[in-house]
Structure 1
Amino acid sequence: MESPPPVRADYTAADGLTLAVDLRHASGAPTLLFAHGFGQTRGAWNTAAATMVAQGCRCVSFDSRGHGESGRVPGGEYHMQQFVDDLLGMAQAQPEPPILIGASMGGLLGLVAAGEIRPTPFRALVLVDITPRWETSGVERILAFMQAHPDGFASYAEAAEQIAAYLPQRRERKSEQQLRPLLREGADGRLRWHWDPALLAGSLIGESERYQPRLLQAAAKVEVPVLLLSGERSDVVSHRTVDEFLALVPHARHAVVPGATHMLAGDANDAFTAQIAGFLQSLSSADAVAGAAIKQPATRC
């Protein structure tokens, strides 16, 4: 049975900027809040969210500021704290503390919020191929792709060709219908990526490296359950960065998705969502055990 389309909504951030939101299954539980990576849109979660809705979850995804259909910061002054505040606001707007599914940038923002804010805004965290310290070469490859075509493309077919070269592990090329939300047609008729060019031209990229000490400190303070998912072929996380993270967050679980790269959800959605479903089941089981312990009288020696 095909999942119904999401309900489109707007969220007004603390500074007045409007963020585009998709809501699926308004009465479901638990709430999963999906936060995409740098240069992505909420559409990156469409297949995963539809899968989790079919399992009864309430799914919320949104475009980060400067991405997709969300507003752009006047003057192009983007800073990491703006993104943290947006994510925190989105979490607090939910009827219950959500489980954050954060990919790359979205996961890092979640770590900051979960480690620094009390009460913790999330019930649990799923970090998708990201750790507080990352492999610089992998991030540089992503940025190189984002910066490669400032003049855009003459057609959707040309854009699809470039994506296919960037993601050779994908079997199918993106169709024009799939590409339409990712590109904007300019006054010159050229198709350009959905993100604000100021995201790449400003100070935001430099801030990400300076954020690493803050991220490491925040990770050590995370108290909620954590699942770290990494791609077997990722060039952004490594055994080194994963081991460091697990030392900081010893209660975290880690699973490797076979064959997947940094674009984990898109590469292997079935395996990705199966890991999330298993994690949710473990949370439900833990809640049931805790509830039973509360109801039972204390055992006396």
Structure 2
Amino acid sequence: MRVSTYHPEMTSAPEQFLTDGHGGVRIVADRLGDPRARAVVFLHGGGQTRRSWGRAAAAVAHRGWQAVTVDMRGHGESDWSPDGDYRVSSFAADVREILDRLPPRPVLVGASLGGITSMLLAGELARGIAAAVVLVDIVPDMDPSGAERIHAFMADRMVDGFGSLDEVADMIAEFNPHRPRPADLDGLRNNLRRRGERWYWHWDPQFIDGSAANPPIEVTDTERLHSAVEAILADGVPVLLVRGQVSDLVSRERADAFVARFPQIAFVDVEGAGHMVAGDRNDLFADAVLDFLARSEIARP
């Protein structure tokens, strides 16, 4: 195994790189750490951006990994699909183009939509492509009421937007009452676009309003997703489920059922975190991922 020459100060400034994803959709990603080391690739949930992983990515890079954060198609600075193609298989194809530019067999860390994308990519569309998979507050059989609540949050104000960042902060605080309302609102700009005098969410409305020609219907195919997880484990790839302890998308009962079905899967319940685990308790989340990689003896080539 090659000894890395990585130095911690390399985490200070991410390097942005662009990739042409499926169908020519431009995908934007950031890289932190040694570009020769094995990558930990962070895939955000629906309605989020690569900025959601900032502190977790820095912690991973500080430990000698290459941390790559990706804006999924239709989100952040990546292109919106011109033909409304938001199938999970298309998200996965985009990620595969990113992985082709990285050292072999990265670790996939996927939250919600990013986790479902990781399941299909590593367990069906490109088996063997990942050295490990971390599922962040997502299981194939998610709670439909929690999913509806998240969908309603994303759809609210999608057309009208917001008159100020304070309005955005108030709405987020109402949705996530367990998370302190930020005193500094500048960080919210990463998830918003300004048009005229109003702010709008930083993602393609087609992704959530039902108008996309090809929506992410795979998220409802629980047996297909369970089969993908089974294939990942059959390939000897270690899997970790990180749940937010106050999550309304993955109840403790659903998490327990998932781990009972696949007892090889490691499980961490993060105290004080909801569905946005990395944002709610970044310290515990980063430690859980790094401890899992150490236990799994995933080398940093």
Could you tell me the TM-score, scaled by structure 2's length? Answer: 0.88
Matched residue of 1:169: which SS? coil
Asked whether the 8 Å contact 1:160–1:175 carries over to 2, the reply is no
Instruction: Go from structure 1 to structure 2 and tell me whether the alpha carbon gap of 1:133 and 1:16 turns closer, same or farther (over 3 Å shift).
Output: same
Matched residue of 2:267: which SS? strand
Deviations 1:181-218 (A, max 9, x none): 211112x4211000111111235667145432211111
Which residue does the alignment assign to 2:111?
A: 103
From 125, 139, 158, the equivalent of 2:147 is 139
CA positional deviation for 1:28: 5.8
Matched residue of 1:68: which SS? coil
Counterpart CA distance in 1 for 2:183 and 2:215 is: 28
Counterpart CA distance in 1 for 2:245 and 2:177 is: 15
Instruction: Go from structure 1 to structure 2 and tell me whether the alpha carbon gap of 1:41 and 1:263 turns closer, same or farther (over 3 Å shift).
Output: same
Instruction: Go from structure 1 to structure 2 and tell me whether the alpha carbon gap of 1:231 and 1:117 turns closer, same or farther (over 3 Å shift).
Output: same
Q: Tell me, yes or no, if structure 1 residue 10 matches structure 2 residue 23.
A: no
CA positional deviation for 1:241: 2.2
From 159, 164, 170, the equivalent of 1:155 is 164
Which segment is superposed worse, 41-50 or 175-184?
175-184
From 219, 223, 232, the equivalent of 1:222 is 232
CA positional deviation for 1:27: 3.6
Instruction: Go from structure 1 to structure 2 and tell me whether the alpha carbon gap of 1:161 and 1:87 turns closer, same or farther (over 3 Å shift).
Output: same
Q: How does 1:1-301 map to 2 (within 5 A)?
A: 3-27=11-35, 29-149=37-157, 150-173=159-182, 175-186=184-195, 188-201=196-209, 202-203=211-212, 207-223=217-233, 224-284=237-297
Which segment is superposed worse, 83-92 or 16-25?
83-92
Query: RMSD of the TM alignment (CA)?
Result: 2.1
CA positional deviation for 1:249: 2.6
Counterpart CA distance in 2 for 1:191 and 1:220 is: 42
Asked whether the 8 Å contact 1:219–1:248 carries over to 2, the reply is no
**How much identity, in percent, do the aligned residues show?**
37
Which segment is superposed worse, 224-233 or 196-205?
196-205
Question: Any stretches of 5+ residues in structure 1 without a counterpart?
Answer: 288-301
Question: Any stretches of 5+ residues in structure 2 without a counterpart?
Answer: 1-7
Counterpart CA distance in 1 for 2:149 and 2:52 is: 19
CA positional deviation for 1:76: 2.6
Asked whether the 8 Å contact 1:230–1:256 carries over to 2, the reply is yes
Counterpart CA distance in 1 for 2:76 and 2:294 is: 32
Matched residue of 2:172: which SS? helix
Counterpart CA distance in 1 for 2:263 and 2:18 is: 37
Aligned residues: 286
Deviations 1:51-97 (A, max 9, x none): 11111111001100000100011143422221121122222331121
Deviations 1:213-267 (A, max 9, x none): 2111111211300111111111111233223322443311111111211111111
CA positional deviation for 1:117: 3.8
CA positional deviation for 1:165: 1.6
Which segment is superposed worse, 21-30 or 202-211?
202-211
Could you tell me the TM-score, scaled by structure 1's length? Answer: 0.88
Instruction: Go from structure 1 to structure 2 and tell me whether the alpha carbon gap of 1:116 and 1:206 turns closer, same or farther (over 3 Å shift).
Output: closer
Counterpart CA distance in 2 for 1:118 and 1:182 is: 30
Counterpart CA distance in 2 for 1:126 and 1:162 is: 29
Counterpart CA distance in 2 for 1:94 and 1:241 is: 34
Asked whether the 8 Å contact 2:45–2:111 carries over to 1, the reply is yes
Counterpart CA distance in 1 for 2:246 and 2:98 is: 31
Asked whether the 8 Å contact 1:222–1:249 carries over to 2, the reply is no
Matched residue of 2:23: which SS? coil
Counterpart CA distance in 2 for 1:120 and 1:34 is: 18
